[in-house]
Structure 1
Amino acid sequence: MLGTAGLPHILMRFYTVPNAREARRSVVWAIWLIGLFYLFTLVLGYGAAALLPPGMITSANQNNAAPLLAAHLGGEIGLGLVSAIAFATILAVVAGLTITASASFAHDVYANVIKRGTARPDQEVRVARLTAVVVGSSRSSAGSSPTAERRVPRALAFAVAASANLPTILYSLFWKRFNTTGALYSIYGGLGLSIILIVFSPAVSGKAVNPETGRSASMIQGIDFHWFPLDNPGIISIPASFLLGIVGTFVGSRRKIDDAKYAEMEVRSLTGVGSEKAVSH
């Protein structure tokens, strides 16, 4: 739940709408749809286990529960429909993430960091296109591997998103004292801690070999350098990121708080009222 709120699937909703009111509406729709999707996965998983013949779903093909169930209930037509929907969904997700990555890199990194605000619009567009090619190529290379799903568990991506993004989003909306230093502490601290714990977790190395497949469930085979005992770092990294946001806020709290400006931004973010100022600007 916390990871979903910090994923690009949700964050990109803020950049594809004309004003704050529509952004709020878009985010609410996205959260509801994604939440329902996760509930449906429980139904599909248990339904497939109940309806399919014993032994058809194993640890090696458990990610294929939905196609196997579709083929069992609907034959080739059912399997074709589910496969087409899955393919379209993958394309939509990859396209959305590619757009988000290319736009963020071109505007935030290239224009504001590398060029320090002097980049021309055509240069940003060119960089965005090159970034889209690089991101798309890397995703295609990773997806072509038969073990890509095992090497990049979704849960770890959710943990990184919740640790790096969520505390800053919530603090920005609901804590008037929150400042830039707190955001930097929270983002970089949560990101760094979650990645370090993932690298030295059993998800990367150290798990026992599965006798059915002859391979370990860890990302790296035949080596063990893990010292963090949990597969997922979220229970440590997410609270730590919230705490780092508080520490950073007090460290950088020399600037005077503008209560009126905060009140205006709070109302605008929660209701959309006043967003016409930003649009007209």
Structure 2
Amino acid sequence: MDLITLIRNNNCEIKYDVEYQKEWSDDELLSHIIFLDCHSKQLTTLPNLINCQELWCNQNQLTTLPDLINCQELYCNQNQLTTLPDLINCQKIHCYVNQLTTLPDLINCQDLNCYNNQLTTLPDLINCKKLQCGSNQLTILPDLINCQELQCSLNQLITLPNLINCQVLYCHHNQLTTLPNLINCQALYCYNNQLTTLPDLINCQVLCCGRNQLTTLPDLINCQVLWCRDNQLIYDNIEDHKKLVKFRNFWKQLKQLKFLKKWRLYKTKSIINKKKDLMIELLYSPDLPFYKLNPYYIHFIENKNK
């Protein structure tokens, strides 16, 4: 069934720029549409929708889209699209789960979800505030200075652009060795990369940095959830009183600590003594019941005098 038939049978949600007239021809009807929801109708093609400002055509069998020069919001996800038309005025685009290899100029786009396509590059997204581009074949990202939420996981990225305004970042499962300035980041998911250090994360509340090559963590005084397993973490300079107080306060503030592995084993006497000092500090802390059940900690307590 084609779109015109669906519309005439009232099987689509539509808004017109003027009051609907039964006498309209098909072309007239289409020209007056400013909002159209035709999702999940088994459509293979769409007619010209030159004045449509918001289009929901997701979950069909579309391979191409018509001219949408006036479209401001487009939801065309879960089709079979390989290209998109000119969307220069579009501010919100959800085109995920298609077969896209390129995207058009999206200079005015503020919200783009192109997850799970075959993209190797992205266009200029200088005005984008929310970008979901995971599960593609990206090796580099454009300038995202205004981006507040970025999901770029499951790509082949080795670096990230300036993300000074980013508050939520999902960049896991890439090939990252460093991260940019993330001073405003509140939630960071950077696990499964090749990171050896992390930037300043003073405002971070959720940090998932497991499965990297980290040996130290930055100051995390506002962190409430930490997942840092499968790294090479060691708490050094335990005798430094200021750092010890910071460390103790940090533990008190944490509400959830996932999979903290025991510190990396070193044979040097100084490192072993520092580990013992740390375990003793933990022994007299009343705020770590979840850690005191850890088998590594229990093993230490049972053998601390041996």
Q: By the TM > 0.5 criterion, same fold?
A: no
Greater share of strand residues, 1 or 2?
2
TM-score bin (small chain): under 0.3
Whose helix proportion is higher, 1 or 2?
1
Instruction: Tell me the TM-score normalized by structure 2.
Output: 0.19
Determine which structure has greater relative contact order: mean sequence separation of CA pairs < 8 Å that are 6+ residues apart, divided by chain length.
1
TM-score by length of 1: 0.21
